[in-house]
Chain A
């Protein structure tokens, strides 16, 4: 069965061009980039070329980018570096809808005595700027707010948040994992101090990511050991993946020119589903959203059941329902947005990528109504018989 992959915010297919570029670095050019011999040492050049490509995608200088094992390490690095660089400031701010890679670090710091504020969002998932302005003060060491939300695609006003943060002398970090390659992420124009990103969300290999550190930003390494990455990230360079990430960044920059195409597919999908199926609702800020993401709630049914039925057709998506997460509560993002429970449990995120086609969109629009009716026929909350159970 052919897979219809609409889960590109979870991960993406490694682009064949990327794999091709990586392959020689396994069995042929396997040397250690720190070695004194040409065989290994020349890999340093490949790393620097990749760094230049990644830097170019975010409009940074190459020396402002370090490679990490992924977005999670980049987030931890940025947050711990910032708080430890300003040991006298004991207040940090983030949003309530961050990825766990940020949220859990903030919770840990809270348990270690930091004063932590989690800024909420409105029902459309938009950042609550007023409460942010009220809560930031001169004690604030760090503000960390994601560039775009992975579940709803809502884009946050990082430029404005960075500006306010700097007025209070604090550092601004943004988790740019979902935004990278989907929209223009210009670190100079927005004036962020630190930005995390990940390779596998832009058709690069998994287990690879990076952190932008603006020149002049106080920095303390997270991984300590060898002298790699100019002492900012110890550990032998993952040359094949770095090279792959570089290539992926180069391709992503090209593809940024055609995000309209993806947006059109996404809009066709969204429009089709909303027209054909009753009691549906789009979660997130439709005015200001990643071009590839739509998060739709199908009322009165449960997300895991929908996903499993989609799976029968080879269609891949994800859900904010409690049952899919292992925890027993629906997604923290949807709860922060106060999505009513009858909608939160039945939320499905479709996230498109550069390989998706109109045919695939049509197929999903075609099979989805039957899936929803089948599950609603099973549900005691079928809108018609809603009073059946309290």
Chain B
């Protein structure tokens, strides 16, 4: 059972502005039967003032899709096209009080239909089906979601996890094969938004900082791998950029211990901390 606000239920039970304007000045469409939700938005626009005089919708979908469409028509009637164009999916969700996370894509659908309708008006009124920018790469093939849509959803809604992105855009919600790609888009966007503070070089760290840093990488990256073979590792000493370690358990007596230190431990530490590091067996 979804937690719907009273306002969502009200718009679901008594939707406003249902139908289709006969001689519409703009028609925007989004979604399909396959996706499980679709919206057709028709607008009547005052040519002189560019004010939206009337808006009607037809929606195939769940309660939140119907409520999002209904509230959208209320929000845009009386606004100029320019004002309407600024409405984001977050505005639609806010107007409804809130939407369950998993249902945020319903508000996105409203925004996309509006975008298509505005485009339709600019192109002389012929119906426009919402399409992702053709130049943008399609990431989720099941639901046909582009990189641009994902990036936009991350920005507008301040998303931080792949799960969030699925809730808002549906991307990754079917076969899940694109989740890795979504994660890397998310990482990229987040990195741009919150650039990491410039990292101090290893040589400039205090000895305690050095120990903590090295221990952290050993614990999270190195030990779990060695544990698989019944072994482990301990930090013995740090002098400058030279780190001494001792192999433990099965790895302790392993003839390949030296190799493992160079080809695995050192590689990981270089990658994660500083490329100038050297690792030796204590």
Contacts of A330 in B (CB 8 A): 36
Taking a contact as CB atoms under 8 Å apart, the answer to whether B36 and A323 are in contact is: yes
A223 at the interface (CB under 8 A from B): no
Q: A380 contacts which chain B residues (CB < 8 A)?
A: 29, 38-40, 58-60
Partner among A302, A377, A388 whose Cβ is within 8 Å of the Cβ of B61: A302
Is B213 among interface residues, defined by CB-CB distance under 8 A?
Answer: no
- Cα A104 to Cα B12 with chains together (Å): 35
- Judge whether B208 is part of the interface by a CB distance below 8 angstroms: no
Question: Is residue B138 within 8 Å, beta carbon to beta carbon, of the partner chain?
Answer: no
Q: Complex: how many Å from CA A345 to CA B62?
A: 10
Give complex CA distance A381, B33 in Å. 8
Q: Does A301 contact B (CB under 8 A)?
A: yes
When the two chains form their complex, are residues A345 and B36 in contact, meaning their CB atoms are under 8 A apart? yes
Q: Is A322 an interface residue (CB 8 A)?
A: yes
- The interface on chain B, measured as residues whose beta carbon lies within 8 A of the other chain's beta carbons, has a size of 32
- A312 → chain B closest CB, angstroms: 8
Complex CA gap A376/B174 in Å reads 26
Q: For window 278-331 of chain A, which residues contact chain B by CB distance below 8 Å?
A: 300-305, 308, 312, 321-324, 326-330
B173 within 8 A of A: yes
Chain B: minimal CB distance from A132 (Å):
25
A389 touches B63 (CB 8 A): no
Q: How far is the CA of A90 from the CA of B169 in the complex (A)?
A: 39
Known: A302-B36, A305-B63, A380-B39. A328 touches B58 (CB 8 A): no
Q: A300-B60, A328-B173 are in contact. Are A390 and B66 (CB under 8 A)?
A: no
Q: Which of B100-132 contact A (CB under 8 A)?
A: 102-103, 129
Q: Which residue in chain B gives the minimum CB-CB distance to A329?
A: B174
Chain A 337-348 interface mask (CB, 8 Å, partner B; 1/0):
000011001000
Contact indicator per residue, chain B 10-38, by CB within 8 Å of chain A (1) or not (0): 00110100101000000001011110111
Q: A328, B143: Cβ atoms under 8 Å?
A: yes
Task: List 6 interface pairs A-B (beta carbons < 8 Å), by A numbering.
Answer: A300-B60, A302-B65, A328-B174, A342-B33, A388-B40, A389-B40
Residues of A within 8 A of B (CB): 300-305, 308, 312, 321-324, 326-330, 341-342, 345, 377-382, 385, 388-390
Residues of B within 8 A of A (CB): 12-13, 15, 18, 20, 29, 31-34, 36-40, 58-63, 65-66, 102-103, 129, 142-143, 166, 170, 173-174
